[in-house]
A and B are shown apart, each in its own frame.
Chain A
Amino acid sequence: MTSRATRVRMTRRRFPLAFLALGFALLVPFLVAPIACAQDSIAVAATVVPAPVGAVTVMDAPNDRGQEVNVTWTASPDDAARPGSVTAYFVERAPGPDGPWTRVDSVAATTLAETDATEDGQTWTYRVTALGPGGAATPTVSSPVTARASWFNTERVSVLLAMLLFFGLVVFFTSSAQSGKQLFVRRIPGIDAIEEAIGRATEMGRSVLYVPGINDIDDIQTMASLNILESVAKVTARYETPIVVPTNYPVVMTLAQEMVKNGYIAAGRADGYDPNSVRYVTTEQFAYVAAIAGIMLRDKPAANIYLGSFYAESLLLAETGFSTGAIQIAGTAQVAQLPFFVVACDYTLIGEELYAAGAYLSREPRLLGSLKGSDYMKVALIAAMVIGCVLETVGITSFKQFFASQ
C-alpha cells in the first residue's frame, strides 16, 4: 500500500506528463499536416503536367550585326505555386508558327531568358515549353521576329560626339596655324635634351642608342617614336655620330630604316647612312632586353633614348644604361612604367608628351595645331568631369549615364 504522500507525489509527477502528452497529441496534426501536404504536393507535382509559361517576348538584339535574338518569357504559374513542378524550360524556333521546330536550348527553371544566334535578315518564331516531372506543358508561341543588323550602335553616341568635337578642334587649330597664327607650346625639357645628349655622345666619340619600344607598328606609341627617330637621325647625321636602333618587330625595322635614311638625307649626309645601324633583334621581350643590355655594356653608347611602349623591361634597360654612365631620355604612355623611367633616367616624357614630341621637334604649323586641339579637348573633358561630379552629388545620374558606353 502506498502512503498518501507518495500517492500525491506520484500524481504530481504524472500530472505534468499528462499535460505534455495531451499537448503533443494536439500538436501532431499541425506538425504532420504540412509534411503530408508537401508530400501530397510532391506526389501531385510528380503526376501533373505544369501550366504553360506566360507570354513569350522576342526582340532583335540591338546594336549588333543581326546575329542575335533575345527571347524572354514569364515563368509558368506552377513554378511558384508548386515548387518542383517545373524543372526546365525548352526553347525552340521555327521559320514559321507551324514549324518545323528545332530546339535552341534547354535552360534551368530559374532562367527566363535566352539569346539565340542567327543570321542577319532571318525570321524566326519561337516557342517555350515548361517541363516538369509529370511531362511537358503546352508550348507558348511567340510572334515572328526578324534579326536585323544595326547601322549605328546607339550606346556609343557619347563617344561619337566627343570624337567629333575633338576632330573639330584639331581641324580648327590646324587651319589656324596654317594661316600663320603663332601657337604657344610650352617647353618640354626632355625633348630639348635630345640634341644635348647627341652632342655629348659626339664629344665622347660614342654612339647614340635609340630604342623605339617593344610593341609593333599597330601601337600608336611606336608610330610616334618612329616620327621622332627621323629628327634624331637628322641631328646624328649632322654631328656625324653613329646611331644604333635595335627593333623588336620586322615591320618596325623597315620603317625605322626609312626614318633614319630620311633623316640622313634631310641633313644632306645620305652617304653617311649605314643600313646596319637599324637591325631586327627578336620579338621575345627579355631576349630583346638582353640584346640591348649587351649593346650598352659592350659598345657603351653615350646617349640612350627610349621612346615608345615598354613593359617590365623598362627598368632593366634604364638601370643597365645608368650603370654605363650614359645620359638617358625616356618617354612612354605606359603609366605603370613611368615611375621606373622617372627614377632611372635623366629626362622623361610623360604620356602625351611622347605624342607631342614629333610636332615639337618639327615645329610644323599643322602638327602644332593638333596639339592645341588636344589641349582644348582636355579643357572640355575637365568641364564635363566637374559638371558630372556636381550633378552626381545632387543625385542627377543621367549625365553620367549618357557617357557610359559599350
Chain B
Amino acid sequence: MIPVVLTAIVGLLVIVSFFVPHGAIAEPAQILQDWAIIIVASGYVLGAANVYKVNGEAAVKMQKDWLYKYVLLGSMTAMIVVGFFFSGGTEFLNEGSPFKWAYDYLYVPMQATMFSLLAFFIASAAFRAFRIRTVDAALLAIAALIVMVGRVPIGKLLTDSLPEVIQLPTMANWLLEWPQNAAKRGIAIGAGLGVMATGLRIILGIERSHMREEA
C-alpha cells in the first residue's frame, strides 16, 4: 500500500506543479525531479554489475560466444579504468584526455557505422513496401514516388513547364503539409490521451503490476 500512496502523492504533486507556479508547490516538485535524476544515475552501478555478472558467468563457463563476452568485459573495464584514473577525474570529457580520445576514435566511428546501415535498410524496406499488390499499396507507391522525385532538383526540372499546381515539388509539398500532417496529428492526439490515461492509472494505483510483491 505504501508504494501506491507514495506514487499517488508524488504524481499529483507534479501535476499540480504544472498549474501552480508558487514556490510552495514548485520547489518540492523540482526537488523530487532532482531526486529522480540522482536515483537513475546511481542505477548505473547496478547496470555495470549486471553486465559483469551476466557476461562474466557466460565467459567463465565458456558458453556460446564466450570469446565475445571477454571482449566486452575487457573493453568495458579498460574504459572504466581509463576514465577514472587516467583522464583527469571529473575532466574526463575534456579534449585531449585518454577517455575522450577513446570515445572519439573508437566508439564514435562504430556508432557512425551502425547509423550508416540505415541507408541500406531504408532501401531494402522501401523495395518491399512499394510492391503494388493492393489499392492501399498502390496509393502508397504513387505518393512515395511523387514525394521522392518532387523533393530533388530533377523533380522540378521534369515538370517545370507544367502549371505550378501540378508540378512535382508542389504536389510533394502538398502531400507532406496536408494529409501527412493530418494523420500525424491524429496519431499524436491519440497517443497523448493514451499517455494521460496510463499516467492516471499509475497515479491512482489502478495499474500497479510494477509494484506487485512476490506471491
Interface centre among B47, B193, B195 (most CB of A within 10 A): B47
Residue tally, chain B, CB below 8 Å to A: 62
Contact (Cβ within 8 A) A286 B118? no
Contact (Cβ within 8 A) A250 B118? no
- Please tell me if A232 contacts chain B, counting CB pairs below 8 Å: no
- Please tell me if B86 contacts chain A, counting CB pairs below 8 Å: no
Contact with A along B173-215 (1 / 0, CB 8 A): 0000000000010011111011111111110001101101011
Known: A153-B19, A153-B20, A276-B57. A373 touches B197 (CB 8 A): yes
* Chain B residues within an 8 Å CB radius of A250: 40, 43-47, 50
Contact (Cβ within 8 A) A251 B194? no
Contact (Cβ within 8 A) A253 B115? no
Contact (Cβ within 8 A) B187 A315? no
The minimal Cβ–Cβ distance linking A113 to chain B, given in whole angstroms, is 21
- Which of these, B40, B115, B195, B199, contacts A251 with CB under 8 Å? B40
- Please tell me if B133 contacts chain A, counting CB pairs below 8 Å: no
- Which of these, A230, A270, A355, A366, contacts B198 with CB under 8 Å? A355
* Chain A residues within an 8 Å CB radius of B128: 343-344
**Besides the contacts A151-B22, A378-B190, what 11 more A-B pairs have beta carbons closer than 8 Å?**
A150-B20, A216-B40, A227-B210, A253-B50, A258-B210, A262-B209, A280-B47, A287-B107, A333-B191, A343-B125, A373-B197
Interface centre among B23, B24, B43, B129 (most CB of A within 10 A): B43
- Residues in B1-36 with C-beta less than 8 Å from chain A: 15, 18-24, 26, 36
The minimal Cβ–Cβ distance linking A293 to chain B, given in whole angstroms, is 8
The minimal Cβ–Cβ distance linking B139 to chain A, given in whole angstroms, is 14
Contact (Cβ within 8 A) A284 B189? no
- Please tell me if B121 contacts chain A, counting CB pairs below 8 Å: yes
* Chain B residues within an 8 Å CB radius of A160: 19
Q: What is the chain A residue whose CB lies nearest that of B37? A: A218
- Residues in A341-379 with C-beta less than 8 Å from chain B: 343-344, 350-352, 354-356, 358, 366-367, 370-371, 373-374, 377-378
Contact with A along B132-161 (1 / 0, CB 8 A): 000000000000000000000000000000
**CA A352 – CA B196 in complex, angstroms?**
10
* Chain B residues within an 8 Å CB radius of A141: none
**CA A331 – CA B111 in complex, angstroms?**
25
Contact (Cβ within 8 A) B50 A315? no
The minimal Cβ–Cβ distance linking B12 to chain A, given in whole angstroms, is 11
- Please tell me if B117 contacts chain A, counting CB pairs below 8 Å: yes
**CA A47 – CA B24 in complex, angstroms?**
54
Known: A167-B200, A370-B197. A64 touches B21 (CB 8 A): yes
* Chain A residues within an 8 Å CB radius of B110: 286-287, 290
- Which of these, A153, A174, A270, contacts B206 with CB under 8 Å? A174
- Please tell me if B165 contacts chain A, counting CB pairs below 8 Å: no
5 smallest beta-carbon distances between A and B, as pairs? A355-B194, A250-B47, A250-B43, A352-B194, A333-B191
Which A residues contact B (CB, under 8 angstroms)? 63-66, 120, 149-153, 156, 159-160, 163, 166-167, 170, 174, 216-218, 220, 223-224, 226-227, 230, 249-251, 253-255, 258-259, 261-262, 265-266, 270, 276, 279-281, 283-287, 289-290, 294, 298, 312, 315-316, 318-319, 333, 335, 338, 340, 343-344, 350-352, 354-356, 358, 366-367, 370-371, 373-374, 377-378, 381
**CA A131 – CA B113 in complex, angstroms?**
60
The minimal Cβ–Cβ distance linking B212 to chain A, given in whole angstroms, is 6
- Which of these, B15, B199, B209, contacts A220 with CB under 8 Å? B199
Q: How many A-B residue pairs have CB under 8 A?
A: 190
Contact (Cβ within 8 A) B43 A249? yes
Contact (Cβ within 8 A) B210 A366? no
Contact (Cβ within 8 A) A335 B206? no
Contact (Cβ within 8 A) B57 A315? no
- Please tell me if B124 contacts chain A, counting CB pairs below 8 Å: yes
Contact (Cβ within 8 A) A224 B50? no
Q: What is the chain A residue whose CB lies nearest that of B202? A: A223
**CA A217 – CA B36 in complex, angstroms?**
10
Known: A218-B36, A370-B206. A120 touches B18 (CB 8 A): no
Q: What is the chain B residue whose CB lies nearest that of A230? A: B209
Contact (Cβ within 8 A) A316 B121? yes
- Which of these, A152, A276, A284, A371, contacts B107 with CB under 8 Å? A284
Known: A316-B114, A319-B121. A63 touches B21 (CB 8 A): yes
Contact (Cβ within 8 A) B207 A227? yes
- Please tell me if B65 contacts chain A, counting CB pairs below 8 Å: yes
* Chain A residues within an 8 Å CB radius of B195: 220, 333, 355
The minimal Cβ–Cβ distance linking B13 to chain A, given in whole angstroms, is 15
Q: What is the chain B residue whose CB lies nearest that of A255? A: B210
Q: What is the chain A residue whose CB lies nearest that of B18? A: A156
The minimal Cβ–Cβ distance linking A121 to chain B, given in whole angstroms, is 10
**CA A333 – CA B197 in complex, angstroms?**
14
- Which of these, A226, A289, A318, A381, contacts B210 with CB under 8 Å? A226
Known: A286-B111, A374-B194. A251 touches B201 (CB 8 A): no
Q: What is the chain B residue whose CB lies nearest that of A262? A: B212
Contact (Cβ within 8 A) A352 B190? yes
- Please tell me if B162 contacts chain A, counting CB pairs below 8 Å: no
Contact with A along B61-93 (1 / 0, CB 8 A): 000110010000000000000000000000000
- Please tell me if B51 contacts chain A, counting CB pairs below 8 Å: yes
Contact (Cβ within 8 A) B20 A151? yes
Known: A156-B19, A287-B111, A355-B195. A315 touches B43 (CB 8 A): no
The minimal Cβ–Cβ distance linking A55 to chain B, given in whole angstroms, is 29
Write 6 A-B pairs (CB below 8 A) sorted by A numbering.
A65-B21, A151-B22, A153-B21, A174-B206, A286-B115, A343-B126
Contact (Cβ within 8 A) B21 A150? yes
The minimal Cβ–Cβ distance linking A62 to chain B, given in whole angstroms, is 9
